[in-house]
Chains A and B, each alone.
Chain A
Amino acid sequence: MFIVKYIKDVFSGLKSLAVGLRRTLYYFTHHKEIITQQYPDNRETLHLPERFKGEVVMLHDENNEHACTGCTACELACPNATIKIITKFDISPEGKKKKAIDKFVYHLELCTMCNLCIVACPTDAIKMAQTFEHSVYNRADLTKVLNKPGSKIREGVE
């Protein structure tokens, strides 16, 4: 009886291996089901979803105007002190002092893409961009100033 069980075990074992091999051979002969992406050769066709969190950018319109009032809501919402807002005082033609941003400093090297600053922004001045190739040779290159030079706040944004 032991011999019968032994032979049965051998054959059932061989059958299980054959079942697995059949699946392997199926994929060996069906090249159409290849799912790998040929990155970085497919850069032109590679589209990331619009919600993808790559890095924080500030939106500027065609007049080089942004919507950031310098309220520091994003700076307070950030868990890693990624954002530092340096403000200045603009003097309007009527002689009034008005607070405005001088520099919106963003430390990409500290950012964890948690999206809390975007949610906190009351004027939708910043958003997440879909870039993801962030490697640079110099660490200082990752510290960015997000407001473009010469830009100013859009009219009507409070």
Chain B
Amino acid sequence: MTKKSALFLLLIFVLALAACGGGGSDEAIKVGAVFDLTGPTSDVGTPYSEGITGFVAWYNENGGVDGRQLELLSADYAYAVDQAEQLYSQYVGEGAVVFQGWGTGDTEALRSRVAADEVPFMSASYSDVLGDPNEAPYNFLIGTGYGAQAVTAVQRGLDAGATHFAIFHHDSPFGQSPVAMATAYAEANGATMDVFPMPKGATDYTAELTQAQDAGIEYILIQNVSSPAATLVKNVKDFGMDVQVVCLNWCTDELFTSLAGDAAEGVLGASPFAFPGSGAPGLEEMDAYLKANGSSLEEKGLRYVAGWLTMKVMTAGIEKVVADGKEVTGPNIKAALETMGAYDTGGITQPITFSATDHAGNKAVQFFEVQGGKWTAVSDLIAVP
């Protein structure tokens, strides 16, 4: 054999190897993710991220997708948008077919990019606009949209005979997200809605509450994270106001009850997800996994449930692609999520249903009430009116 032909054979061999590497069916499926472990939202970002990593570990132990493992490419981005962009391009460049984001900042910043790159994207930011495929074709919502949550809470107030509503919100796009929908719904039903932005870093909301009392407010919705929400309900208690307070998604958690203490008693929470200990069968696998690893779901809390479930629904889309014998790509996973029908979450949420015209998969919330320092279910899952 001449030197030249030997080289030629070697080249073919190398190319064949490369081809095998690219199309092998036992290759891991790569999932990109950014977590907030050190940034301003790390208190809730950490358990959420543990839910995602926990699910991937549990799922791989149980055989993965038809023998193929999930490979999680993830890092902390400290809630910095440019960090999220770097990590996103790095992981997608390394072959991540789907992506798990976290907050409003990164979800919005990557929205145009995931559509251009055709990477299905889920996060814990539940802006209603993300559920509209015309606006955000590759974003999928697992939690109920903020506006939809607020509307359901208003309906609960209307049922209880309230006519004067107020919404206290985080002074940001995240906080303003449900305001327009909630106001429109209240006014369409003959009620009023006052809007109070909660200034950044405020330690007291007595001024706003005085105004609310003068306006005869009976029902207060809070669209904010736990620590300012806890301050607000403490003020409500000190002020002796006779109002029903309803926390939306981001203050309905264990952090809120521990921060607000006694003042939290009787506060309602609207949550798309069932609390640990509520007996939903879907929670058992998480608890079993955590107990086997020296922890428990009680300890990790509601945000862990949300992280686990979000990753689980995304994996269901991947499973369908593999079961249909198609190649695992972004557009195929998007199509699978849109066509897989109602996905049963074991009672944690309403069955999650996506379609080609609607990516708001979850359209129900459950109401919980703080009783004896614990969130206790006071309703079944209620469909968004």
Tell me whether A and B are bound partners: no
Chain B residues within 8 Å of A, Cβ to Cβ: none
